[in-house]
Amino acid sequence: MSYFKRLLVFVIVFFITACNSKKEKSIGAQVDTKPNVLILLTDQWRAQATGYAGDVNVSTPNLDSLAAMSINFKNAVSGMPVCSPFRASLLTGQRPLTHGVFMNDVQLDTNAVTMAKVFAKEGYNTGYIGKWHLDGHGRLQNVAPGKRRQGFQYWKGNECTHNYNESVYYDNDNPNRKVWDGYDTFKQTDAAIEYFNDKKGSKNPFLMILSYGTPHAPYHTAPEEYKSRFKAEEIKLRKNVPENLKKKAKKDLAGYYAHIAAIDDMIGKVIKNLKNTGLIENTIIVFTADHGDLLGSHGAYKKQQPYEESARVPMLYYLPEKYKIKKGERDALINSEDIMPTLLSLCEISIPDTVEGLDYRAYLEGKADIGKSTLLTCVQPFGQWNRIKYGGREYRALKTLKYTYARDLNGPWLLFDNEKDPYQMNNLVGNETFASLQKDLDGQLRKRLEDTGDEFLPGIEYIRKWGYPIDETGTVPYTH
C-alpha cells in the first residue's frame, strides 16, 4: 500500500473513532444530567387557597414565586378526591378501579408497577418523607421495609396521622416508633433538605416525595405564630357557604390558612436550599395536593364530592431551563394518573404499559392538544360522606373546560356551567333550556366510561370484588 493510501486510511479511521468517542461522551453526558424529581405533596389543599390563585385571605409569597417560574395547571383535578385513591394513582399512573384503591385504609398491591420502582430501575435514588396512607395495616403502624414501601429506598414516613405536633414516624430500617420534634411540617422539611445535601455529590439523580399532612383537619394545630395571623371574623367566605355554616367555616378557615402559611414558608426554605446548592438547575419540582376541602361550601366539609372546592387541586410544574418550555398558566384538565407518565417522559424514561394516564410532555411543548375533559369518580361514598349519615352517593362525572356534569346511580345529578357559575350554585339538570347540552354531556360521559371499562356499578359490587371489610357506614374500619 502506498504512503498516501495508508495516510488516507489513517485519517478515515481517526475520524470515525473521534466521532464515536464524541457520540459516547454525548450519551454519557445525557445520562449524567438526568433531572432530579421533587414532588411536594400536601393533604386537602384546595386549588382556590393560594395567593397566586387569587385568595384574598392568605399570602403565599413562596408559592407565588414558584408559580411565577413554573407551569401552572390551573384546572388540575384529583380524579377521585380522597386521600388513598389519589396517592395510589400518583404512584401507579392508573385509575382507582384498576389499582383497586378506591377507599381509604386499604393496601396498594405490593406488586404494582410504581413510580419509585421505575425510577429506581433507571438508577435513581428514591426517597419518601411524611404521610403515606397506602399500607392498610393501621394508621400508626410501621410500613415495613421491602415491598410495602413500593420502591422507595430512603424512608422517614408514617402511614397516616393527623396529629401534626410530636407526630409518629419510622426512620428507614429502624422498626422502633419515633416522634418528630414539634410541628412535623418543619421537621419533615429539614429531613428533606438533609437528604438533598447528602445527594448533592451523587452521580445518581433522585426522586423524592415530600408528603405533608397539612392543611388537612384538625385545622387549629399550627404553631401560634401562624395562627395569630388569621382572625375568623376577617375571613371572606366563598359565596356557596350557607348561612348556618358561616361562623364555623370562618373559624376553621382561619386555622386552615395558618397551616397553609406554615407550608408556604417551608416550601420557600426548600427552594432556597435547592438554589444555594445549585440543584434547582437540574430538578423538576411538582407542587400539588391529593384533593381539596369543601370547608362549608355546598353545606359540606372535606372531600369526595365533585364540586370545585373538593376536586380541583393546585398543580405547579417547575422545569429547568434546558427544557425550553414556556412558563405560565395552562388550561388542560390534568388528572391524578397523568403525573407519573408526564414525569417519566420529561426524564426520558419509558412509560410502562400498565400506566393509564396521559403523558403531557408534548402538550407542554405545544405539540399536542389534550386535556379538554377528564373524569371525576366516587366508587363508594364513606367516612364524612357516607350514604346513611350524609346522603353520599356513587357518581361518575365528566369535567370539561366549561362544564361539570355528574350522574349518580339513579341518573343525571349535577350540571354546572363553571364559567358563568363558578361557585356551582345553579344546577342545570332537568332545565329544558339545557336539555340538548345535558344529553350531549351524558353521551360523552357514557363513552368515556365505556372506553375505560367502567361499568358504574353500586359501590358494594367493587367492595366484594376486592374483598374489603366495611362497617355499617360503608367505610373500611382502621386501627391506630
Residues carrying an active site annotation: 83, 133
Helix (H) / strand (E) element for 119: namely helix 115-121
Which residues are CB-neighbours of 412 under 8 A, at least 6 positions away?
405, 406, 429, 430, 438, 442
Q: How far apart are CA 305 and CA 404, in angstroms?
A: 12
Helix (H) / strand (E) element for 178: namely strand 178-179
**196 within 8 A of 274, measured Cβ to Cβ:** yes
Residue 6, classed as helix, strand or coil, is helix
Look at residues 379, 401, 403 and name the one whose alpha carbon lies nearest to residue 452.
379
Q: Can you say whether the dihedral through the CA atoms of 322, 356, 138, 383 is positive or negative?
A: positive
Which residues are CB-neighbours of 5 under 8 A, at least 6 positions away?
none
**447 within 8 A of 365, measured Cβ to Cβ:** no
Which residues are CB-neighbours of 448 under 8 A, at least 6 positions away?
373, 375, 398
Q: How far apart are CA 156 and CA 71, in angstroms?
A: 29
Q: How far apart are CA 475 and CA 389, in angstroms?
A: 12
Contacts 24+ apart (CB under 8 A), 192-196: 192/129, 192/270, 193/269, 193/270, 193/273, 195/127, 195/129, 195/154, 196/273, 196/274, 196/277, 196/279
Render 327-378 in DSSP notation, one character per residue. -EEE-----GGGHHHHHHHHTT-PPPTT--S---HHHHTTS----SEEEEEE
Longest C-alpha distance within the chain, in Å?
Answer: 101
168's grid cell: 409518629
Which letter does DSSP use for residue 379 in this model?
S
